[in-house]
Structure 1
Amino acid sequence: MNRPVRRALRSDPYRLVRLGAWSVAETAPALVIGLAIARAIDEGFAAGRPGVGFAWLAVLGGAWLVAAVGARQVVMAVAAIVEPFREDLLAHVVEGALQRSTTSGRGPGTGAVARSNLQVELARDAFASVITVVRSFVFTVVSVMLGLTTLIPEVLVLVLPPFVVGLGLFLLSLPALARRQRAFIMADEHTAESLTDMVGGLRDITACRAEDRVAATVGLQVAEQARVTRSLARVTALRTVSLAVGGWLPVLLVLAGTPWLISRGAGAGVILGALAYITQSLAPALGNLVEGLGISGVRLRVSLNRILHSEDLPRRPAGRSPSKGTSRGAGVELRGVTFAYGPHAEPVIDDLHLSVPEGDHIAVVGPSGIGKSTLAALVTGMLRPHSGQILVGGVPAEELHPAGRTLIPQEAYVFRGSLMENLTYLAQAPAAAVDGAVAAVGLTALVTRLGGYSAEIHSGMLSPGERQLIALARAYLAPARLVILDEATCHLDPAAEARAEEAFIRRGGTLLVIAHRLTSALRARRILVMDGTSVRLGGHEEMLAVSPLYADLVGRWNPSNTQELVP
């Protein structure tokens, strides 16, 4: 990470020489201030020679004019070093993005854009700040020490030791400060990202009934940021101690040592001059160094780390399994799962054992509020059981990669954008695959009515059934091998519902349907009946024989209507 910094500093030695020369001019007041005050008092005003006093003050004023010119030139000299540094980082970002684009066959990802527009600018600004404060500190300290030596060498005994101790304390605390400042920056960014994702996905969160889980996740991030902030505050307290020791303890020592300095020939002007050197030059220089390295230095390190070491991974093509949290299949297994909404509430699901082999098709039936949607949320990992274990392809449900399963809730959602963007939200699918999904779930008529895939849509312009068809096509295109339809066809007529469910049956993978009509159960290979006291699983004929609830539902079902599966 230090390589770009070294390259920027060594690329043109003349720039450093120019910066050093103008830095001497900028720090001229630090060299002159104490000496001018001491001479103006002792040799001028106190000696009855006001002209001499004003002459020394004029010298100090001239030093400030020189410093003003020097400050302007210093800014330009720093820019001459920093801008090539910025261009070097931009070249690295662009080359990396183009190389990954060529390798993956896709355009540069958003990460490259973010780094070029944000991280590079942060690194440039932080680098400029570090150069400015370190350069100013070095030249100011040298000027102050030369001025004190010229004024009265003995005062260095009172000033130099505490200054060195304070500087040493800061340098010793710098690694810990850098680590904790970096942790604070990262925690702050993670919290902001979590909140942004939460706000942007409120509709999704509500649709999937994941409010409690998302709130808990964001709450953990906020708590982590609070912990990191407290840790940073403790190290910052040591930084304050170093400032007190190195910048302000010399003032007390000079005041306490005034009798000794007077015995060494110092007058009132010399004492005031020494105090001016400390309070107007030395202490501010140390404070600026602590502030600059403690904040800008860490930001420079963090930004360079992201630019030089983080890579944009090519997007995973549709249909390929993800590398992390990947299941070895889409089979579902529940082992003694119990879940209740609250520590004192009755379990909605109690000691449930269930095995769904990969490729199985199960319909879940039962009264409203019996726990069907809770079961769907548990299988997808949005809820965690109080006891027991849920595995999807051998992977705990809460650790499964999001691309490994798809849940379509009852209230399907679309976002403002083109129809194509809505359909390919979960997968990078070619046009032929999109056409196939649209035809499979029965969305062709809607595509025609809207004017094609490029049509701009939003939730308010579509009926609930049309939104469900779009969500079904989106899930059909997704690479997930486990699909859960939580009454996802309730706003469709029976014929459209049958067409959509049969499309997912032909699609393959494991299909779990929270049934809205008995016809969904009849299409399934097996039926899971939840009646509040027990859970039974089997075929249609078997359930008629062993489940009074299911037998009652079948007995009251009329194929000519759309009666729901609610007694």
Structure 2
Amino acid sequence: MSEAQRHRVVPGAPLRRSGLRFLKRRRTVLARLAGWSLVESGQTFLFGFALAHALDDGFLRGSPVVGAAWLAAAAVCVGAGAYGTARVYGAVADLVEPLRDTLVRKVVTRGLYAPDGAAVSRLTHQVEIARDTFAGLVLVSRSFVFVTAGALVGLCSLAPVLLLLVVPPLVLGLALFAGALRPMARRQETFLAADEAIATETGTAVGGLRDITAAGAERTVAAAAGERFDAELRASRALARWSVSRVLALGISGRLPIVLLLLAAPWLLGRGVTPGALVGALAYLTQSLLPALQSLMHGLGTAGTRLGVVLRRLTAEPATGAAGAGSHRTPRDGYAVELTGVTFAYGPHADPVLRGLDLTVPAGGHLAVVGPSGIGKSTLAALVAGMLEPGSGEVRRPATADRVLVPQEAYVFSGTVRENLAYLCPGGRVPDADLLAAAAEIGAGALLARLGGPDATLAPAELSAGERQLLALVRAYLARAPLIVLDEATCHLDPEAEARAERAFAARPGGTLIVVAHRISSALRADRVLVMDGTHVRTGRHGELLRRSALYRELTGGWAHAEPPAAAPLQPALAARDADGVDAVAGTRLAGDGGHVVAHGPGRQMQDAGDLGDRGALGGQ
């Protein structure tokens, strides 16, 4: 998926409106900044003016005392300007820090509800870019405005004709610079996109080092990472080429007026311009206007364009309809998920686990997926949920935040019951009535009562595997996602508890349920059954598949003999392997956790414990 597809970038107009609202709320700070900037730039006007009068009225007329007095006045103004500069920095801080806090809140909120591989780059690198460049932009912009105004007023006070030599090249150079800002911004955005791609590529590689080594994919991964670095190098070179326009604009607006003033000096002296006025004009140009232009063009040309790009990216909304190989496009009306020609393999040289799979699940449907261990059931569940991307073909499903995958190993963390159950809800808040009602629907009401209610503290090591599954199921039910995928998520429950939980999910109005079946009863409850046998698939109702599929007849026969008694107790608690009592199973969402997390949103990789540990004739997953 391309960078433009992964993010819906907020257009310039809304960003400008947001910026204006931000500044309007801080009018007092802006007024204080303008006042101290005026004090700081007062020296600009008085320096050239005092220098001209020191020469014309003092030293050139033989009155050194008068000349020294004018120079002393200029020195006093320099001291006042330094005092104003110190106060300017305090006002700038009152603008910059609130912006940084606002951006951090936006990035953290987006990372919680729509995580992706670039979240770390945004929070650590790009927020600091925005903070630093905004501060620099405020400093150089207000300095240029006040210094330029002071210099032009000073030139006019010395001799209005001097403006004819300064204003035209100044305007021409600024126009050239302004015209180059947009192309520079585009190159800057390309550079930042390449930086995010590097963070995503290397982050994925580091998280899968064991698998990369085991599969002998070191060169392939290194080549992919190298392509990202090469793209960033090309983007940085393109950005550097556009800096030539900044040098040209500075030469026209800042240095050409000095040359014109020197060339026109005889003509100016012949028309009443005094020597002191010429020296004062040179001081205005070399000591005030040229440094201000250099700061402005350097600040806007690098920091300014970068700031605009970074702010658009930090305030962008996660894409909900982008299609990277079609994997996030919305399915047709009336369908919850569609797979078209999907092929997936765990590596470039591995045999495909799924090949050319076509599957359509209608909205509100109930599908059971059956097949031998290691045949690809959990892989299919991960593809449907967005935890894996197909090697080829399309997976069309609802928006990224509208599906929940519950794997076999349920994730429960140290905290309160409420925190565990409301984990997938917006803001993590659920009314007690809704929470208790969901627990009753799933069949976990007695468990919550035994634990002490919503505000009781959970100790994961004291829960059985079945109790953890019940809590994960209630968590998924409270998420209210239109699409629920249960990947053997009830395997530690007895048949009666499993049936109650599945019926609760299936009864949700408009809700779609896909179950990787653990028992034949799950297939009997479904509207349709998908049988996977490694070479092709069959779909149909239970009775129809008994007639058409020998594999399904074999599976149902094996299930019937292995079905445990209805009163089978929940399995005992598993031994805790860390402080929170969470098994160290590799997986999704958290480091060292892979497959036992309730997934909600996009993900990059998943290893499913239910299939990986069972290698059949097809080599497992």
User: 2:498 maps to which residue?
Assistant: 497
Q: CA deviation at 1:461?
A: 6.9
Q: Are 2:175 and 1:171 equivalent residues in the alignment?
A: yes
Q: How does 1:26-45 map to 2 (within 5 A)?
A: 27-33=45-51
Letter of the 1:405 partner, please give it. R
CA distance in 2, matches of 1:246, 1:479: 61
Aligned pair in 2 of structure 1 residues 173, 430: CA closer, same or farther (>3 Å)? same
Q: How does 1:245-324 map to 2 (within 5 A)?
A: 245-248=252-255, 277-291=284-298
Letter of the 1:373 partner, please give it. S
Q: CA deviation at 1:139?
A: 0.5
Deviations 1:290-338 (A, max 9, x none): 35665787799899999xxx999xxxxxxxxxxx959744544434433
Aligned pair in 2 of structure 1 residues 555, 540: CA closer, same or farther (>3 Å)? same
Letter of the 1:172 partner, please give it. L
Aligned pair in 2 of structure 1 residues 387, 468: CA closer, same or farther (>3 Å)? same
- Alignment counterpart, residue 422 of structure 1, candidates 420, 423, 436: 420
Q: Are 2:243 and 1:239 equivalent residues in the alignment?
A: no
Q: How does 1:512-531 map to 2 (within 5 A)?
A: 512-531=514-533
Contact 2:250 2:293 in 1 (8 A): yes
Aligned pair in 2 of structure 1 residues 194, 513: CA closer, same or farther (>3 Å)? farther
Q: CA deviation at 1:542?
A: 3.8
Letter of the 1:482 partner, please give it. L
Q: Are 2:141 and 1:130 equivalent residues in the alignment?
A: yes
CA distance in 2, matches of 1:7, 1:524: 57
Q: Are 2:378 and 1:376 equivalent residues in the alignment?
A: no
Aligned pair in 2 of structure 1 residues 263, 234: CA closer, same or farther (>3 Å)? same
Give structure 2 stretches of 5+ with no counterpart. 1-15, 103-129, 208-224, 318-328, 569-609, 617-621
Aligned pair in 2 of structure 1 residues 328, 426: CA closer, same or farther (>3 Å)? farther
User: 2:408 maps to which residue?
Assistant: 410
Q: CA deviation at 1:144?
A: 5.4
| Bigger shift: residues 381-390 or 181-190 | 181-190
Q: CA deviation at 1:408?
A: 1.5
Letter of the 1:244 partner, please give it. G
Q: CA deviation at 1:513?
A: 0.8
CA distance in 2, matches of 1:377, 1:285: 57
Contact 1:28 1:66 in 2 (8 A): yes
User: 1:143 maps to which residue?
Assistant: 154
Q: CA deviation at 1:411?
A: 3.4
CA distance in 2, matches of 1:37, 1:414: 83
Contact 2:48 2:281 in 1 (8 A): no
Q: How does 1:71-90 map to 2 (within 5 A)?
A: 72=83
Q: Are 2:340 and 1:338 equivalent residues in the alignment?
A: no
CA distance in 1, matches of 2:480, 2:277: 80
Q: Are 2:434 and 1:433 equivalent residues in the alignment?
A: yes
Aligned pair in 2 of structure 1 residues 374, 424: CA closer, same or farther (>3 Å)? same
Q: Are 2:569 and 1:558 equivalent residues in the alignment?
A: no
Q: CA deviation at 1:67?
A: 2.8
CA distance in 2, matches of 1:31, 1:63: 9
| Bigger shift: residues 276-285 or 181-190 | 181-190
Letter of the 1:401 partner, please give it. A
SS across alignment from 1:507: coil
- Alignment counterpart, residue 548 of structure 1, candidates 547, 550, 573: 550
Contact 2:32 2:91 in 1 (8 A): no
Q: Are 2:534 and 1:532 equivalent residues in the alignment?
A: yes
Letter of the 1:29 partner, please give it. F
User: 2:357 maps to which residue?
Assistant: 352
Q: CA deviation at 1:340?
A: 3.5
SS across alignment from 2:375: coil
Q: CA deviation at 1:241?
A: 2.2
| Bigger shift: residues 226-235 or 362-371 | 226-235
Deviations 1:266-288 (A, max 9, x none): 99999988765543233112223
User: 2:604 maps to which residue?
Assistant: none
User: 1:363 maps to which residue?
Assistant: 368
CA distance in 1, matches of 2:37, 2:556: 89
Q: CA deviation at 1:142?
A: 3.6
CA distance in 1, matches of 2:478, 2:530: 27
Bigger radius of gyration: 1
Q: Aligned-residue CA RMSD in angstroms?
A: 6.1
CA distance in 2, matches of 1:146, 1:471: 78
SS across alignment from 1:552: helix
Contact 2:36 2:87 in 1 (8 A): no
Aligned pair in 2 of structure 1 residues 224, 405: CA closer, same or farther (>3 Å)? farther
Letter of the 1:380 partner, please give it. A
SS across alignment from 2:404: strand
Contact 1:26 1:68 in 2 (8 A): no
CA distance in 2, matches of 1:183, 1:189: 10
Letter of the 1:553 partner, please give it. L
CA distance in 1, matches of 2:342, 2:181: 46
Deviations 1:416-455 (A, max 9, x none): 6543243234446543332121112232344234432234
Letter of the 1:350 partner, please give it. R
Letter of the 2:406 partner, please give it. I
SS across alignment from 1:367: coil
CA distance in 1, matches of 2:311, 2:355: 52
User: 1:97 maps to which residue?
Assistant: none
Contact 2:408 2:491 in 1 (8 A): yes
Give structure 1 stretches of 5+ with no counterpart. 94-118, 204-217, 313-323, 391-395
CA distance in 1, matches of 2:436, 2:489: 21
Aligned residues: 488
User: 2:445 maps to which residue?
Assistant: 444
CA distance in 2, matches of 1:407, 1:502: 17
CA distance in 2, matches of 1:13, 1:335: 61
Deviations 1:227-273 (A, max 9, x none): 87666545443222222333345667788999999999999999988
CA distance in 2, matches of 1:380, 1:473: 18
Aligned pair in 2 of structure 1 residues 219, 369: CA closer, same or farther (>3 Å)? farther
Q: CA deviation at 1:472?
A: 0.9
Q: CA deviation at 1:533?
A: 1.5
CA distance in 2, matches of 1:351, 1:260: 84
Contact 2:406 2:486 in 1 (8 A): yes
CA distance in 1, matches of 2:197, 2:435: 31
CA distance in 2, matches of 1:458, 1:35: 83
CA distance in 2, matches of 1:362, 1:426: 23
Contact 1:19 1:78 in 2 (8 A): no
User: 1:110 maps to which residue?
Assistant: none
Letter of the 1:279 partner, please give it. T
Aligned pair in 2 of structure 1 residues 546, 191: CA closer, same or farther (>3 Å)? same
Tell me the TM-score normalized by structure 1.
0.63
Contact 1:403 1:479 in 2 (8 A): no
SS across alignment from 2:144: helix
Letter of the 1:407 partner, please give it. L
Q: Are 2:489 and 1:484 equivalent residues in the alignment?
A: no
Letter of the 1:360 partner, please give it. G
User: 2:585 maps to which residue?
Assistant: none
